[in-house]
Amino acid sequence: MNFVTILALIVSSTLVYSAPLILTSLGGVYSENSGIVNIGLEGIMTIGAFAAIVFNLTFASTFGSATPWLGALVGGVAGLIFSLLHAVATINFHADHVISGTVLNIMAPPLGVFLVKAIYDKGQTENITANFGYFSFPGLSSIPVIGPIFFKNTSAPAWIAIILAILMWWILYKTRFGLRLRSCGENSQAADTMGINVYGMRYAGVLISGFMGGLGGAVFAQAISGNFSVTTIVGQGFMALAAVIFGKWSPIGAMLSSLFFGFAQSLSIIGHQVPGISQIPSVYMQIAPYVITIIVLVLFLGKSVAPAADGVNYIKSK
Amino acid sequence: MIKVTTKTKNILVPLISIIAGFLVGALIMLAWSYNPIEAYSSMFSSALGNMNGIGETIREATPLILIATGFAVATKAGFFNIGLPGQAQAGWLTSIWIVLAFSNWPSYLLLPFAIIAGALAGAIVAGIAGYLRAQFGANEVITTIMLNYIVLYVCQYLMQQVMPTALRINTDTTKTISANGSLKIGWLSAMFGNSRINGGIFLAIIGLVIYWYLMKKTTTGFEIKAVGLNSFASRYAGMSAKKNIIVSMLLSGAFAGLGGVVQGLGTYQNYFTQTSSVDIGWDGLSVSLLGGGTAWGILLAAILFSILKIGGLGMQTIAGIPYEIVSIVIAAIIFFIAINYVIGLLFKTKNNRSKYYIPTRKEKAPNNSVDGPSEKIIEGSTN
């Protein structure tokens, strides 16, 4: 194996594992910047994965190769609807954000499995036939060296996620909507005084996180796991939550953290194919992503400060 | 609107949440044409209808009480300890390993040693997160999530590579522990129809009493609560935030570790490799949220949770309804507890000092950094 092949292998599997994390963590960033803590990302991803797999199994013959993309959108919409629960509870009903988010996490897997049992009469679905697979960018993939590493046989959802991250950074920091959203997370009362609809902005934040989380779950299910069972999403949402905090509540930061987590996860999976790494006992490779995260957090990032009004219910004065 | 006393309201609100949760489950069952009455009756009859069922329900509640208490201690100090599964797993493997390694010790030495070591293992795992938070300000949500994975893989490695082959059957399962290191009590199991109920329940109740005493009667508990409520004010009053952060995380981890110990020495009598975070960790978290972090609340919530879990198994076999409905009901109950503000609107209390959150929409102080960041002071609020 030459150097370029190894690098291409690492880059492409990093991208495959990062894509769901990037998408979900971007949603988390929006929710938290609007002032709603969303630890329910895991549950939202589960629902997204469930909806996408059911859609994919049902319509694979109708839509052909477009199925996973449509499935991802269906997953996103399902996540959005599911996140309404969190939005209503925290914004209108003054619920504790952590408790409400936990409800999403413990509600989603049994709901998904219950519906799978009700629809298919068994605990997990069949494997899907139309998955994301690998994608080569026409033109770009023929660039020497860079082409084979980054653009040949790579993950299309990951590149879309990266572009989305840049777009969502721009929206959050350079547009009026973004400023208003952030003002609700920093000081909701001041925002209200300035005539911003705090409830509306917070709904926007949570629903965006629902859509992105559903998208993330759908991408994970259709690119990595291939079916839906109770163990499809185990910990991905929590990793995305960690990426939100690790990325200091910024879309670009969350994307870079997700890429890092994806890289670390993929190393433990493809490690045995890479010379040099294959000699290291597997336990070190398995725990490396998590240990490195803690070390980086402690050494370089220091205290991470959430938006000031993150997790604080805003109750409008009459 | 019904006029009731505060005390009645504090009972009525969670009661209505529970009923509403069951109704949600019933609606879902109806939507998929299952019979909810048959479901719930088979659930309660299999969890409470015979001594074996009752014993299993108590057995299920045992680790949940301990782990929920662990979560509550950290919450009181303002920490979100999401690392309960890892801490419980560390306690589980440690206690089993010790009992297997020192199986010739007399019971009165071996059992306390294994229990304390298990609690210590949990405390160390949580303590790492506490120390990093206190010393470097590292966010405990990230560190505890990462520690869950680290514990998971390290335990796998320890089982497969480090544990002497004499102690295990294969690389995934240890041998069954000997009677002198087991929490099983013969007469107790016999009394409850040979269920897996064990001495762990006494440990759990002692743990709850200690938690209650610690929080209500000791300086340590007071400082933990003070730091959780307002770390600025407590620092001004001369309390060390760093010390309290570490102490509360150590205690939290020790309780979670004990949860793992009773699961190992009581329920399973061995350790087997886990492929994902242990479920009692997440269940304990739910119980703590359900119980509102008070000793009584945790006890009752753990029992309710266990009735649902154990009864759900019976419901699946007797009525043929998917077990998952149970978890949906649990999630729904917690949801209704979380939105108790809305349920509270149904009742008017005679005075305004309810345990539950009743915003009177009258701000007393501006929401600025002088009062501590994001501390909104609202009359009637108890947070």
User: How confident is the model at residue A302, as a pLDDT?
Assistant: 59
∠A16-A18-A21 over CA atoms, to 5°? 130
Instruction: Determine contact: A197 vs chain B, CB below 8 A.
Output: no
Most B-contacting residue of A21, A83, A94, A268 (CB-CB within 10 A), to test interface: A94
Cα–Cα distance between B330 and B297 in angstroms, integer? Answer: 15
The average confidence (pLDDT) of chain B is 85
Query: What is the mean predicted confidence (pLDDT) over B248-261?
Result: 95
Residues of B in contact with A99 (CB under 8 A): 289, 334, 337-338
Residues of B in contact with A290 (CB under 8 A): 146-147, 149-150
* Residues A93, B339: C-beta atoms closer than 8 Å: yes
The residue in chain B having the minimum alpha-carbon distance to the alpha carbon of residue A91 is B339
* Residues A96, B338: C-beta atoms closer than 8 Å: yes
Cα–Cα distance between B204 and B141 in angstroms, integer? Answer: 26
> Over B211-239, what HEC string results?
HHHHHHHCHHHHHHHHHHHCHHHHHHCCC
User: How confident is the model at residue B98, as a pLDDT?
Assistant: 94
Chain A nearest-CA distance from B197, in A, is 26
Chain B nearest-CA distance from A161, in A, is 23
B356 pLDDT tier (thresholds 50, 70, 90): low
* Residues B334, A96: C-beta atoms closer than 8 Å: no
* Residues A283, B332: C-beta atoms closer than 8 Å: no
* Residues A302, B137: C-beta atoms closer than 8 Å: yes
Chain B nearest-CA distance from A142, in A, is 39
Residues 219-248, chain A, touching B (beta carbon < 8 A) = 231, 234-235, 238-239, 241-242, 245-246
Alpha-helix residue ranges (DSSP H) falling in chain A: 3-33, 41-63, 67-87, 97-120, 146, 156-174, 176-186, 188-193, 198-220, 236-246, 251-270, 282-296
Q: Does the structure show a pLDDT above 50 at B361?
A: no
Instruction: Determine contact: A297 vs chain B, CB below 8 A.
Output: yes
Chain A nearest-CA distance from B165, in A, is 19
B379 pLDDT tier (thresholds 50, 70, 90): very low
pLDDT digits (tens, 9 = 90+) for A251-291: 999 999 999 989 888 877 777 777 766 777 778 877 887 88
CB atoms within 10 A of CB A3: 9
B4: phi then psi, degrees, rounded to nearest 5: -135, 165
Residues of A in contact with B64 (CB under 8 A): none
Q: Does the structure show a pLDDT above 70 at B370?
A: no
What is the Rg, in whole angstroms, of the alpha carbon atoms belonging to chain B?
Answer: 22
Cα–Cα distance between B21 and B355 in angstroms, integer? Answer: 21
Cα–Cα distance between B272 and B167 in angstroms, integer? Answer: 12
* Residues A310, B374: C-beta atoms closer than 8 Å: yes
Most A-contacting residue of B80, B335, B377 (CB-CB within 10 A), to test interface: B335
Length of chain A in terms of residues written = 318
> Alpha carbon of A247 to those of A105, A231, B146: distances in Å?
22, 27, 15
Contact pairs from chain A to chain B, CB under 8 Å: 158
SS3 for B292?
Answer: coil
pLDDT digits (tens, 9 = 90+) for B191-207: 888 888 888 999 999 99
* Residues A242, B154: C-beta atoms closer than 8 Å: no
CB atoms within 10 A of CB A278: 12
Percent of chain A with pLDDT over 90: 43
Residues of B in contact with A96 (CB under 8 A): 338
| Cross-chain CB nearest to B285 (options A85, A102, A301) | A102
Query: What is the mean predicted confidence (pLDDT) over B318-344?
Result: 87
SS3 for A153?
Answer: coil
User: How confident is the model at residue B359, as a pLDDT?
Assistant: 47
A249: phi then psi, degrees, rounded to nearest 5: 65, 25
Give the helix/strand (H/E) hosting B347: strand B347-349
Query: What is the mean predicted confidence (pLDDT) over B279-303?
Result: 90
Residues of B in contact with A103 (CB under 8 A): 331-332, 334-335, 338
The two three-digit tokens of residue B330, written as one number: 């649990």
* Residues A110, B326: C-beta atoms closer than 8 Å: yes
| Cross-chain CB nearest to A234 (options B141, B276, B341) | B276
Instruction: Determine contact: A309 vs chain B, CB below 8 A.
Output: yes
Instruction: Determine contact: A124 vs chain B, CB below 8 A.
Output: no
Instruction: Determine contact: A78 vs chain B, CB below 8 A.
Output: no
Among B250, B200, B222, B203, smallest CA distance to B70 is for: B250
Tokens 């620092």 belong to B235
Q: Does the structure show a pLDDT above 70 at B183?
A: yes
Among B228, B231, B277, B225, smallest CA distance to B256 is for: B277
What contacts B33, CB < 8 A, 6 or more positions away?
Answer: none
Instruction: Determine contact: A194 vs chain B, CB below 8 A.
Output: no
Chain A nearest-CA distance from B108, in A, is 36
* Residues A94, B136: C-beta atoms closer than 8 Å: no
Long-range CB contacts (within 8 A, 24+) of B375-383: B375/B230, B376/A312, B376/A313, B378/A315, B379/B352, B380/B352, B380/B353, B380/B354, B381/B357, B382/B354, B382/B355, B382/B356, B382/B357, B383/B357
- DSSP states along B139-172: -HHHHHHHHHHHHHHHHHHIIIIIS-GGGEEETT
Chain A nearest-CA distance from B29, in A, is 10
The residue in chain B having the minimum alpha-carbon distance to the alpha carbon of residue A43 is B331
Q: Where are the domains of chain A?
A: 18-237
User: How confident is the model at residue B277, as a pLDDT?
Assistant: 81
What is the Rg, in whole angstroms, of the alpha carbon atoms belonging to chain A?
Answer: 20
Give the helix/strand (H/E) hosting B349: strand B347-349
The two three-digit tokens of residue A65, written as one number: 């190769």
Residues of B in contact with A234 (CB under 8 A): 276-277
Q: Where are the domains of chain B?
A: 53-320
* Residues A117, B322: C-beta atoms closer than 8 Å: yes
Is B253:B124 a contact under the CB 8 Å cutoff? yes
> What is the interface pTM, i.e. ipTM, of the complex?
0.87
Task: Name the DSSP letter for residue B130.
Answer: H
A127 pLDDT tier (thresholds 50, 70, 90): confident
Cα–Cα distance between A216 and B347 in angstroms, integer? Answer: 42
CATH number, span B53-320: 1.10.3470
Cα–Cα distance between B161 and B176 in angstroms, integer? Answer: 19
Q: Which residue has the higher pLDDT, B12 or B30?
A: B30
